[in-house]
Structure 1
Amino acid sequence: MMHSRIYLPSGELLSDVDLESLKGYVQDSRCVIWLDLDSPTTEEVDLVGLLLGITHLTLEDVTKQGQRAKIESYDRYLYMVMHGMRLEEPDGHLALPELDLILGLNYVLSVHYEPMDNVLQHRQITETTASVMSRGADFLLYALVDGLVDSYFPVLDSMDDLIDELEDIIVGRTEDGVLARIFRVKRDVVSLRKVISPQIEVFSQLTNRTYHQIKEEHIIYFRDVHDHLIRAFEVIDSYRDLMTGALDAYLSTVSNRLNSVMKRLTLIATIFMPITFVTGVFGMNFGYAPQVVWDNGTLFWFSLAGMAIITAVQLLYFRMQGWI
């Protein structure tokens, strides 16, 4: 579905105009146009591409999702690929929807195949939208990418809470499924790093090269987005270190608890070892055993008392050594 917002030189903001009127506004350099394609069909992408004069190579990249974050400069426009970030409910699965952005002299085209809250927020007809579009298409591009990058930090905060929860579980108790959760978070952190890293390169190019579609006085705003991306990247790097430490701590905790169990089992086996020896001696099947022939019934109780004394001495020794 295509949504359109047109800011006229008179200050009026139009929405969702018909295609014939849109052609006239595109040719008027005084107008600022924003076309948002939400889950478009191939025919809609081709139609808008023909209207704006976008090459088939760019349209092919827009249609085929899964692109790496990048920026490409053409004679009439800039093509950017960005990615959003959100945690899906209820399992907390990390989603990284792609957002394709094309900047011309008087228009911005955004294409996405999944709902994106920051795009929807700017698409609403408000004074803020009119104020942003009144400053030009390049400032509208800045507003879209700035909102996109700002949406990263609530997700990162949620991941921070999740990591804290995992650390508490690892230290306090070992539950089934903890290892799977650790590897899932590690995989999400790796995915985030793969998304953020190329976007830093994109905005590094935007702030260090001259593109005729971006006004000189607006470059400073893209530098601000670049700084936010660096901060997000540093947070993600810290999460990677935390998860590596959490995995090591989990494996160490499991190993220590296994050693504790084996220690207890060894102590039990050691306690029964002399008792088993005594009962084994008395239980041997010899035809003549003096302790049996001459016993008047007291030897049995002496044997039990001796085994109890041996066990008590063993327990006292283990306690003195700090083993129990």
Structure 2
Amino acid sequence: MARKRKRKATPKSRNSVFQPPGTISYVGIEREGNVATETIIYNEQSYEKFENIHLNDLKKELVHWFNIDGVHDIELLEQLGKDFNLHHLLVEDIANTTQRPKTEFFDECIFQSIKMISYDAAEHELNEEQVSILLTKNSVITFQEKTGDVFENIRERIESSRGRIRTSSNDYLFYSLIDSIIDHYFIAVEQIGEYLNDLEDEIFEEPDKESLNKVQRNKRLLLSLRRAIYPLRESISKILKEQNDLIDPKIVTYFHDAYDHCIQITETIESYREINTGLKDMYLSSVSHKMNQIMQVLTIVSSIFIPMTFVAGIYGMNFEYIPELTWEHGYQYFWIINVIIFVTLISFFKWKKWL
């Protein structure tokens, strides 16, 4: 029997609700270990990579990408907030991993909160992680919950000077990071679509109780996916509408493409939710049809044996004078009558197309 999941309040509501605004406290899955940091500095002619936060002179002609894997270290976040002159409310949002995807504009930067999603096909689960991306005047800063992300392709493009990323400024890197996360949504959505197709075949051919449990799990999974992606459309739209000196108007054009992708993914998720709802109705119809088939067989069998039982009941009565009991071939006649009844009923059922 599937264990019922209890709905719990978020850590934010339990631990941080009475704290003053701007108080930095980590909200999310409990994590331990050191925070991993990385710095990539590049332009069209040069490329450098460091395994820590390398705060040298932030030259305008160089793009600086600072990546922090782990937001549970409050002291480090406070120090980074001071180093990069970040608003205390912004740092508080970075430490809160239950944030809704959003875009906020500050004097010193643009803050983008986004969910990085991967789909575990074996367990049929979503792995969700919050990523905070900051675009400042001379750099891009990314904060992740843990090590491992979808940015390896971008790192490889920067290192190998492939594409336009090395010839562009930090606002294009800001867009590329967001676009990389959105592109991986398509992979997760495609895998979920394949799972729905397999589940549809399973329900059509051999539905069981576990099939209904899978449909219910799909409902929760698609709802979680929608909560992660649907607000992103509004967030990207805000970037398109808000004019800001940190983003070149030429780069804004690329965000139109990201916005279209968000709409496409959202529409696909809505269609999958409708399909999943249809699977539940399909399961109930399949079970009902299977039950009707069983009842049909039992009814036909009963219809065949009822007249035979009637004949057997008559000649099984304990009356002394029943003429047929003295017949020499009475037993054979009894079976001939039953065979005639059987053949007649089977022929009638086939004529009615009940068989």
Per the normalisation by structure 1, the TM-score is 0.88
Contact 1:200 1:229 in 2 (8 A): yes
Equivalent residues in 2 for 1:83-122, closer than 5 Å? 83-122=115-154
Any idea what SS the aligned residue of 1:289 has? coil
1:247 to 262, 280, 299: 280
- Residue 308 of structure 1: which of 296, 318, 339 is its match? 339
Q: From the superposition, tell whether residues 150 and 169 of structure 1 become closer, same or farther in structure 2 (CA, over 3 Å).
A: same
- Contact kept, 8 Å, 2:38 with 2:52, in 1: the verdict is no
AA in 1 matched with 2:123: D
CA displacement, residues 274-313 of structure 1 (integer Å, 9 cap, x when unaligned): 22222223333x4x42128962553333223222222222
CA distance in 2, matches of 1:294, 1:274: 19
- What is the CA distance between 1:15 and its match in structure 2? 1.7
Q: Which runs of 5+ in 2 are unaligned?
A: 1-35
Tell whether 2:160 aligns with 1:127.
Answer: yes
2:244 is matched with which residue? Answer: 211
CA RMSD of aligned residues (A): 2.5
CA drift at 1:17: 6.7
Amino acid in structure 2 at the alignment position of 1:127: S
Deviations 1:40-91 (A, max 9, x none): 4223222212211112222222112121111111111111111122112522
CA contact (8 A) 2:199 2:211 kept: yes
Identity %: 26
Please list, as runs of the form range in 1=range in 2, the aligned pairs for 1:63-212 lying within 5 A after superposition.
Answer: 63-124=95-156, 126-128=159-161, 132=165, 134-174=167-207, 177-212=210-245
Cα distance, 1:154 vs structure 2: 2.1
Instruction: Report deviation, 1:162.
Output: 1.9
> How far apart are residue 130 of structure 1 and its match?
9.6
- Whole-angstrom CA distance in 2 between matches of 1:149 and 1:238: 18
Equivalent position of 2:12 in the other structure: none
Contact 1:101 1:111 in 2 (8 A): yes
What number of residue pairs does the alignment pair up?
A: 318
Unaligned runs of 5+ in 1: none
Alignment of 1:283-302 (within 5 A): 283-284=316-317, 286=318, 288-291=319-322, 295-302=326-333
8 Å Cα contact 2:324/2:330 also seen in 1: no
Aligned partner of residue 109 in structure 1, secondary structure: strand
Equivalent of residue 64 in structure 2, options 33, 36, 42: 33
Q: Residue 54 of structure 1: SS of its match in structure 2?
A: coil
Q: Which has the higher helix share?
A: 1
Q: Matches of 2:325 and 2:349 in 1, distance apart? A: 37
Cα contact 1:133–1:139 (8 A) shared by 2: no
Deviating more after overlay: 122-131 vs 69-78: 122-131
Question: 1:116 and 1:3 mapped to 2: Cα distance?
Answer: 12
2:42 matches 1:7: yes
Return the offset for 1:249.
2.2
User: Is the aligned partner of 1:42 residue 2:74?
Assistant: yes
Partner amino acid for 1:225?
A: A
1:13/1:130 contact within 8 Å kept: no
Structure 1 window deviating more from structure 2 (111-120 vs 270-279): it is 111-120
| Structure 1 partner of 2:304 | 271
Provide the rounded CA distance (Å) in 2 between the counterparts of 1:208 and 1:318. 71
